[in-house]
Amino acid sequence: MTVCDVVIPTVGRPSLATALASLEPERERLGGRVLVVDDRPGGPPLPAPPWAEVIGGRAHGPAAARNDGARAAGADWVAFLDDDVQVVPGWAAALAADIAAAGDGVAGIQGRIRVPLPPGRRPTDWERNVAGLERARWATADMAFRRAALEAVGGFDERFGRAYREDADLALRLLASGWQLERGRRVVLHPVPPASPWVSVRLQAGNRDDVLMRRIHGRAWRRHAGAPRGRLRRHVAITGAGLTALAAAGLGRRRVAAAAAAAWAAGTAELAWARIAPGPRTASEVATMVATSAAIPAVAGFRAAEGELRHPRRLRPHGRRPRRPQAVLFDRDGTLVEDVPYNGEPGRVRPVPAASGALSRLRAAGVPTAVVTNQSAIAAGTLTEAQVDGVNRRVEELLGPLGPWLICPHGPEDGCGCRKPAPGLIVAAARALGVDPSACAVIGDTAADVGAARAAGARGILVPNAVTRPEEVRRAGEVAADLEAAVALLLEDGP
């Protein structure tokens, strides 16, 4: 399978032609497909070179367009580019190196964004705004995602209808599911696009999306996403002072009106100077900053209020509701039975308290099971295969038939593909049961069990015990108190 496809959502901006021209020399090294998602509501065919595949979007915004492109892609990885970036020479080779260096737990790799600014003068307010992309986390101007990770969390949340916060939302959901995000070495250029003098006022619509982020991810979302706090509270205070001045004037309260108007003027002046001071301070820039600073607080407050009214108090994070698994794969030691290190004596086998009830419920639901277990003691010579088989038979005597047993007899240094967290045991168990690995769930007590599930595209649930490390619990996507709780998650989440 091709390693990586490229998806470029667009509404037909002129910059698309430049973006594709920069990508053309990289095609041979890239190897994958280039998919341009035409997200316009209509119009003539989108001009594109013959090597770029144009697919129709739904005109529902960039999150939906990226989902459409990801679904059309067939590679293991999908690299999203904005239609106003330019890849630098060697970008495809650097992308391949970034992906090759990614571990199984890495869901996404961000490219490095460079914003060329005019030499010889200070940047304008708009130029500084665009240059902030150089410091942004997880910006989809150049972000490559493992397709299995996108599918695991349901892709981009289409409730974000603008090109704002949908990338941070996806990143937080991936991190919460136990995936990792990394910064790569590849580079793209993001020139500053032309914009209206009132662009800063238009951008206040992002305050509405910030409300959606808070509804989904809680009040600490900015800290987790690395997003600056912003000035919304100041904007609301300035707007309140202005409204108070108007109301007091209408009621004939001149002193109150004068004091409130002075507060409004001071707040507006402070905002304007904060934007003027680092800029070129030309006459046109100063005039633009003064005019827009008078409008920004009210518009920001209105957009935030709009978000408060539009979005319910509690929202679920986006993502498909997990399907009931077609098979459940269990780790053995520490999960089905008490962990006795290097146990070769059937008489020492003790099931964990919840094992019998959990298995009974799966059998009643008609869900087949299997066991996937690392047994490196065989490679070390501490145990023989016959001893391991004897213990396994005793487990089934106590708990009943468990389906196929998939055992890795190798040590950590053997470099096999079956030792968890490698996916080999999960893939082999799924094959033995006649199901796809992505339709399986894996229950275990270590990060290796959850990592093997993730690497195979299966659902992983961690059931901690006394030896499970706290960091393993923190990084697990799903955690259950015991086996019965884990099985309840699997069966009750289903249709």
Query: Catalytic residue positions?
Result: 331, 333
Give the whole-angstrom CA distance, residue 445 versus residue 77.
29
Angstrom distances, CA of residue 285 to CA of 196, 210, 272, 487:
12, 28, 11, 62
C-alpha–C-alpha distance, residues 280 and 73, integer Å:
45
3-state secondary structure 42-86: CCCCCCCCCCEEEEECCCCCHHHHHHHHHHHCCCCEEEEECCCCE
Asked whether 286 and 274 are in contact (CB, 8 A), the reply is no
Q: How far is 19 from 410, CA to CA, in rounded Å?
A: 48
Q: CB count, 10 Å around CB of 281?
A: 12
Dist CA 125 CA 287 (whole Å) = 12
339 contact partners, CB below 8 Å, separation of at least 6: 333, 445, 465, 467
Burial per residue of 376-391, b for 16 or more beta-carbon CB atoms within 10 angstroms, e otherwise: bbbbeeebeeebbebb
Q: Is there a contact between 190 and 84 (Cβ–Cβ < 8 Å)?
A: yes
In contact, 81 and 142? CB cutoff 8 Å: yes
Sheet holding 459-462, edge to edge: 405-408, 369-374, 327-330, 440-444, 459-462
Task: Write the CA distances from 13 to 67, 193, 195, 467, integer angstroms.
Answer: 20, 10, 13, 56
Q: Which residue, 66, 68, 59, is CA-closest to 82? A: 66
The single-letter code of the amino acid at 72 is A
Selection from 274, 273, 275, 282 nearest residue 121 by Cα: 282
